[in-house]
Chains A and B, each alone.
Chain A
Amino acid sequence: MNSTTPDPNLSAAAAGPATPGPVIRQAPPFATAALRVFDLSLSQMLWSRRTIFLALVVGSPVALGVMFRILDAFGFAGTIRMGGAPVPGPAVFGSMIWLLYLRFLVPVLGVFYGTALIADEVDDKTITYLFVRPISRRAVLVGKYLAYVVTTVFVVLPSVVVLYLCVQPLGHGSLAEGFISLLTDLGLLGIGLAAYGALFALIGAGLKHPLVTGLVFAFGWEQLALALPGYLRKFTIAYYLQALVPHVMPAEGLGSAMQSLFRDVPSPTTSLSAIFAMTVIFLAIAGWMVEKREYILEQ
């Protein structure tokens, strides 16, 4: 008998302790994976250079509001005038929500952050490291999307509240009077950020130059579609979002005049349902695209 060959007749006990079998790691569930990616991406996103731009953009209306407040406190009452008459604080706040936040900030943040969710990883050539992890690609996208929503919401919404406290009392407006409108504004800014983020995440996941495409969509297509009569406006997020705004649309320029002329306001239920559906659909398509697409990194 060959001394090197182990004797199969030896009892198991005499043979020594059994070596453990190979560990079969299971991929974490979708939610856990997405939350893990969210956790990692949140810090990255919050302390990136892009957030400096976000802070400047969001800080400008707040700085403006603080300036109006200081001028009012120093006796320059009626600083903001229209047609010779001082404009009260609530009207100023409403106009800022319309013009600064809804029409500019929310789409811009959606474009700059949403398109970068996947595109930045591709440009930095780090997407490979993300996709080799034993988590679904869809979870990566969802995790990054959640990080975007949290980042923008936690920067934009407090700025709106600070702006409200500064501007609403101007011209002896009332904090009490505008409180319900403020809650509505906060809600619709949140869902606007989510909806635009989902749309531009889809554009970022699927197209080659997502930033340009996103800007053209937000400031070209949407403005045009809203100004024209007919059904085209239903293919914009702004159509549904603007239906939820509690403030009067300010009249500034030909574009606003045309939009108000052909304005056809859907009900709040329709608007909310449409925005929610669009968010889910865009995210689903973006997730599918990320799963199926092969991202070729440029050398």
Chain B
Amino acid sequence: MTGKTRYFLVGSALVFFVGLSIGLVAYYGGVPQGLFAAKTGPAELQFVPEDAAVVAYANVKQVMSSDLRQRLRQFGGPSDEGRTEIKTATGIDIEKDIDYVVAFMDKRQTGAAANSTDGLVLARGQFDQVRLEAFAREKGAAIEDYKGKRLIRPNVEEEGAGTSRERDIAVAFLDNGLVAIGGSVVIRRVIDGPGLSSKSVRDNADMMKLIADQRDASFWVVGQFEALSSQAKLPQEVTDRIPPITWFSASGRVNGGVQMMLKAETNSDEAANSLRDIVRGFVALAKMQAGNRPEAQALWPSVEMGGTGKTVSLSFGVTTQLMDLMTPKKRAPGGTPKPAAPKPPDAPQKPAK
């Protein structure tokens, strides 16, 4: 064996064993992410507890500045007056000052509040803390300091004012440009949370796998289907017939229109096949019902069903053209379409001299 051959074999074996060692370390070390991969999801996920049932994210700035948003305004939503009012009172311009929001639903079983669900919304943006506190004081809210963070709670002295859940709502400034809105218990837990010993949703491999798939999305929600179905309060007859879904995710990518992707993960391949059959049936039924309507004709080509193994996915796109078709035409007060305005008569010609 020549020296060159020996060096090649040694080098090759080195590459092989170094690569295998990296894989082995990842396997036994439980490293959930690939090497050199960027951190998944927004940084605020560190405030989301490990056992969060549902996590959501929305890139508010991107959505608000999109063509989609402009077209959706005609269907309703906060008017310009309302927006101005909020801005005057709080200094927050909903369309420009909020960069993104992260929300989670935390399913806890704690003593008397068994099976109660708490949630939190974390908003990142440009907030005038002084102005917000002044506005809160005006409305009679109490402002306290909790472990160095400012916590605003509504006036709890009025008996019977709102439900116990509403009385429990609080707002906290976790960081410069980061506001948390939700149950005061959850907020306190989040403020107590970040530290070396506490875990966040980043330690939940199943949830992070779902979040990782939403990298490009403008908005997404992922979580345990059970949490969603319990909140939806579906009838027993319906829940008995739905195949056992463990995880779900829904995401949208705003790009002119919006490209939606819905995914569900079941506990077995058979359940996934059943779910695919159900979804296929619904899509076929919807197509039949829609008939030859022009908006349906524009929507169907983008509907795609997919997924392999235990995963079922459904994607569809709502383009701006489709939204134009869906926009209701303006009608006269009597309910009949406005008649076309009559053409003005031609000006009489001056007689020739």
Contacts and interface: CB of A to CB of B under 8 A. Distances in A.
A85 B315 contact: yes
Interface stretch (A10-18, A123-131, A167-175, A269-277): A167-175
13 contacts: A78-B216, A82-B306, A83-B315, A84-B259, A84-B304, A84-B315, A154-B8, A158-B15, A161-B16, A169-B37, A174-B209, A175-B27, A248-B309
A88 interface: yes
B12 A158 contact: yes
Contact of A157 (B4, B16, B34, B313): B16
Nearest to A174: B32
A164 B34 contact: no
B22 to A, nearest CB: 6
A86 interface: yes
A60 to B, nearest CB: 17
Contacts of A85: 261, 306, 313, 315
Contact of B27 (A84, A162, A176): A176
A158 B309 contact: no
Interface string B212-224: 1101100000000
A173 B37 CA distance: 10
A191 interface: no
A165 interface: yes
B304 A175 contact: no
A132 B15 CA distance: 40
Interface stretch (A1-9, A41-49, A208-216, A255-263): A41-49
Among all A-B residue pairs, the 7 with the closest Cβ atoms: A169-B34, A172-B212, A161-B19, A175-B26, A179-B27, A158-B15, A176-B26
A254 B173 CA distance: 60
Interface in B288-309: 304, 306, 308-309
A89 interface: yes
B9 A154 contact: yes
Contacts of A80: none
A42 B15 contact: no
Size band of the interface chain B makes with A: 35 or more
B308 A176 contact: no
A39 B9 CA distance: 13
B302 to A, nearest CB: 8
Contacts of B213: 86, 88, 171-172
A258 B305 CA distance: 23
Contacts of B4: 43, 47
Interface residues of A, number: 38
B72 interface: no
A178 B27 CA distance: 9
B109 to A, nearest CB: 30
A86 B214 CA distance: 10
For B32, B34, B215, which residue has the most chain A Cβ atoms within 10 angstroms?
Answer: B34
Interface in B14-49: 15-16, 19-20, 22-24, 26-27, 29-37, 40
B185 interface: no
A224 interface: no
Contacts of B29: 176
A164 B215 contact: no
Contacts of B259: 84
A154 B17 CA distance: 12
A47 B33 contact: no
A188 B213 CA distance: 30
A77 interface: yes
Contact of B212 (A39, A171, A182): A171
A85 B13 CA distance: 37
A174 B34 contact: yes
B1 interface: yes
B5 interface: yes
Interface in B110-132: none
Interface string A223-251: 00000000000000000000000001000
A275 B215 CA distance: 43
B2 interface: yes
A8 to B, nearest CB: 56
Interface string A97-128: 00000000000000000000000000000000
Contact of B34 (A47, A173, A248): A173
A112 to B, nearest CB: 19
